[in-house]
Structure 1
Amino acid sequence: MTTIFKDGAFVEEDWVRADPETGAALDGDALVPLSMFLVEPETYLARGGRTAVLIEAGDDSADVLPFLDRLALVAVDFPSFADGRGFSAARILREQAGYKGDIRATGKYILDQVPLAMRCGVSSFEISKPEVLKALKAGEWPEVTKYLQPVGTVEEIPEGTRPWARRSLRDIPVAAE
């Protein structure tokens, strides 16, 4: 079982990760690396259980676009907290492809990256780091209200005279009526 953080709550899920040895011969819900999935996509999609694809660093997220409506979710790997390719993959899926399903972050992200990943379209998190799990269970939330890069998934306005500086609409005080 794996702990998943979604919509402010924790759930346990049991996805089996496909590897070259198991191939498509998996029972239950399977998380398949994109490189394996693309070799025989119909075989993975036709088996019993739900199928999800894992986009790893270096994969072209556009390769999964023809199959999005048939996948249970798309997982995006963060191989290290210093590797930002997971943010880009999530933005491509959410903003350019218009994917409405679950985009799940996996890997070695840190707590500070959770709200930023959500800004890029990530909707759930597979938690592998105990410190991230502990902080989220304690209610810690490193909210960021000023940004240096606009995204299409969050309502925001320019900050000051620099067009690239943004701030969240939640950061604006509302006048009393």
Structure 2
Amino acid sequence: MATIYKDGEFVEENWTRVDVDTGTAVEGDGLVSQTLFLENAEVYLARAGKTAVLVEAGDNVELLKPYLDRLAYVAVDFPSFADGRGFSAARVLREQIGFEGDIRAAGKYILDQVPLARRCGVSSFEISKPEVLKALKAGEWPEVTKYLQPVGTVDEIPVGTRPWARRSHRDVAVAAE
């Protein structure tokens, strides 16, 4: 069982992680690495259960484009809180490929990265760290309101004379009446 955080709600899901040994013979809903999936994509998609793909750091997500409309979700691995390739993979899926389905963060991200991942197109989070689960259940959301890298999926306000500087609409002061 994995705890998933999506749209402010927590749910428990049970997906089988597919490995080389289980391969296409896995029963039920299966999460398969992009490398394994691309070796037998049509076989994985024809199984009785749902199929999701795990994009690992360094994978070329553009190779998934022909299959995206048939996947339950795409999980993006964050192998370390210091590895930003998960953010890049999510942005490519959302902004360049136009994937509208669920992009799920998985791995070793920290709480401070959750709002930034949302900004990059991540729509759900598989929570493996107890401290992240505890903070989200307590309502913590470490929002960043000023950015130095614009994204195409969020409506933001330019700041100053630097074309890349942005701020969130939530950062705009509201006049008291």
Q: Same fold (TM over 0.5)?
A: yes
Aligned counterparts of 1:163 and 1:157: Cα–Cα separation in 2: 10
Consecutive unaligned residues of structure 1, counting only runs of 5 or more, are none
Consecutive unaligned residues of structure 2, counting only runs of 5 or more, are none
Aligned to 1:32: 32
Aligned counterparts of 1:87 and 1:118: Cα–Cα separation in 2: 9
Aligned to 2:63: 63
Alpha-carbon RMSD across the aligned residues, in angstroms, is 1.0
3-state SS of the aligned residue for 1:77? strand
1:76-115 correspondence to structure 2 within 5 Å: 76-115=76-115
Aligned to 1:14: 14
Partner letter of residue 152 of structure 1?
G
Aligned counterparts of 1:31 and 1:92: Cα–Cα separation in 2: 20
Aligned counterparts of 1:175 and 1:156: Cα–Cα separation in 2: 20
3-state SS of the aligned residue for 2:5? strand
Aligned counterparts of 1:78 and 1:127: Cα–Cα separation in 2: 12
Q: Deviations over 1:130-161 (max 9, x none)?
A: 11001101111101100010001111011112
1:154-169 correspondence to structure 2 within 5 Å: 154-169=154-169
Q: Normalized against structure 2, the TM-score is what?
A: 0.97
Partner letter of residue 8 of structure 1?
G
Aligned counterparts of 1:176 and 1:131: Cα–Cα separation in 2: 37
Partner letter of residue 71 of structure 2?
L
Deviation at 1:173, TM superposition (A): 2.5
Q: Deviations over 1:106-132 (max 9, x none)?
A: 000000000000000000000000110
Deviation at 1:176, TM superposition (A): 6.6
Q: In percent, how many aligned pairs have the same letter?
A: 76
1:131-170 correspondence to structure 2 within 5 Å: 131-170=131-170
Bigger fraction of residues in strand? 1
Aligned counterparts of 2:77 and 2:119: Cα–Cα separation in 1: 16
Q: Normalized against structure 1, the TM-score is what?
A: 0.97
Partner letter of residue 100 of structure 1?
E
3-state SS of the aligned residue for 1:11? strand
Partner letter of residue 115 of structure 1?
P
Aligned counterparts of 1:82 and 1:89: Cα–Cα separation in 2: 15
Deviation at 1:175, TM superposition (A): 4.6
Deviation at 1:165, TM superposition (A): 1.0
Q: Deviations over 1:89-109 (max 9, x none)?
A: 000000111111000000000
Deviation at 1:23, TM superposition (A): 0.3
4+ aligned runs moved over 2 Å, structure 1: 173-177
